[in-house]
């Protein structure tokens, strides 16, 4: 594939349940739909494989790095469809037996894992009756991650990371930013689109944000609105709620044109904490 050739991406929106096997079956069907529509890069949302009744459910479902049903599913699905597949997040074991790493895994079209990113910024919220503290069950990652691909350089992040622009500045320039997410309905209504469009604009990059979108078994409501945002900050494809697929065509030449018109990345002065 030529570096300047247009290609199609697919974002998978889910309403994941506490049952891993059930979620993998749903994911398989949705990925197949995206591939059938010509998507060559397909991304699943955060917690695609399990959104439990309790925060500790994902700890019980954790896998060893490189082995386990969820990782085998991702590798086999990528290989079956000949696509690059982003496993929005997978609970992987860490040194603390009571916690996991919330890991975004990327597989190439032959089913080989080419990237692992462990979510760095852990969500915490106290707003009315809503209480979230990911640090109770998740061990934070420490290293930013970008991977070179047939689609350009891809910067990897997960959900709450999108609020921290310095993470992306440390990886710039990139062609694509991944933000698999499970935004709450409350914070999503207020901030989701604004944050995604901001990251696209300031990095002149495509943003791909597959999301959880609906009411889950534990009563949690996720915002949905999986979307593709172009380097000028325009939302070019979106799904409001419910499980389904979002597809969009990515034109690298459009990005190059925008960067020639507004060379903001060459005007950077200050650097982020990672370099």
CB-count burial class (<10 Å; 0-12, 13-18, 19+) for 259: middle
Query: Among 269, 227, 218, 225, which Cα is nearest to 248's?
Result: 227
- Do 66 and 74 meet the contact criterion of CB atoms below 8 Å apart? no
Give the SS3 label for residue 2: coil
Q: What is the pLDDT along the chain (275 residues), one digit of tens a residue?
A: 555 799 999 999 999 999 999 999 999 999 999 999 999 999 999 999 999 999 999 999 999 999 999 999 999 999 999 999 999 999 999 999 999 999 999 999 999 999 999 999 999 988 888 888 999 999 999 999 999 999 999 999 999 999 999 999 999 999 999 999 999 999 999 999 999 999 999 999 999 999 999 999 999 999 999 999 999 999 999 999 999 999 999 999 999 999 999 999 999 887 655 44
82, 96 Cβ separation under 8 angstroms? no
Q: Are 147 and 106 spatial neighbours (Cβ–Cβ below 8 Å)?
A: yes
Domains of the chain: 7-264 (3.60.110.10)
Nearest residue to 31 via CA among 250, 251, 247: 247
The whole-model pTM stands at: 0.96
Residues annotated catalytic, as ranges: 46, 119, 159
The label of the residue with tokens 């910067």 reads 155
Q: Which residues contact 124 (CB under 8 A, 6 or more apart)?
A: 132, 133, 134, 135
Distance of CA 237 to the CA centre of its chain: 16
Q: How many angstroms separate the CA atoms of 105 and 152, rounded?
A: 17
């Amino acid at each position: 594939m030529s570096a300047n050739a247009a290609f199609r991406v697919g974002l998978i929106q889910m309403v994941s349940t506490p049952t891993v096997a059930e979620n993998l079956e749903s994911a398989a069907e949705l990925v197949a739909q995206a591939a059938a529509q010509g998507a060559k890069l397909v991304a699943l949302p955060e917690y695609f494989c399990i959104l439990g009744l309790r925060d500790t459910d994902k700890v019980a479902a954790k896998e060893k790095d490189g082995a386990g049903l969820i990782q085998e599913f991702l590798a086999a699905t990528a290989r079956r469809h000949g696509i690059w597949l982003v496993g929005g997040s997978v609970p992987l074991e860490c040194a603390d037996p009571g916690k996991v790493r919330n890991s975004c895994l990327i597989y190439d079209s032959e089913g080989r894992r080419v990237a692992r990113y462990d979510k760095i910024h852990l969500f915490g919220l106290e707003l009315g009756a809503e209480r979230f503290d990911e640090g109770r069950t998740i061990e934070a990652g420490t290293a930013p991650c970008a991977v070179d691909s047939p689609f350009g350089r891809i910067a990897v992040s997960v959900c709450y990371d999108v609020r921290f622009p310095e993470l992306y500045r440390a990886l710039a320039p990139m062609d694509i930013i991944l933000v698999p997410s499970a935004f709450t309905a409350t914070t999503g209504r207020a901030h989701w689109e604004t944050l995604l469009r901001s990251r696209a604009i300031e990095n002149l990059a495509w943003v791909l944000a597959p999301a959880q979108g609906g009411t889950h078994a534990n009563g949690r409501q996720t915002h949905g609105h999986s979307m593709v945002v172009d380097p000028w900050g325009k939302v070019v494809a979106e799904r409001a709620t419910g499980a389904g697929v979002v597809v969009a065509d990515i034109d690298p030449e459009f990005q190059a044109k925008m960067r020639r018109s507004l060379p903001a990345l060459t005007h950077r002065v200050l650097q982020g904490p990672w370099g």
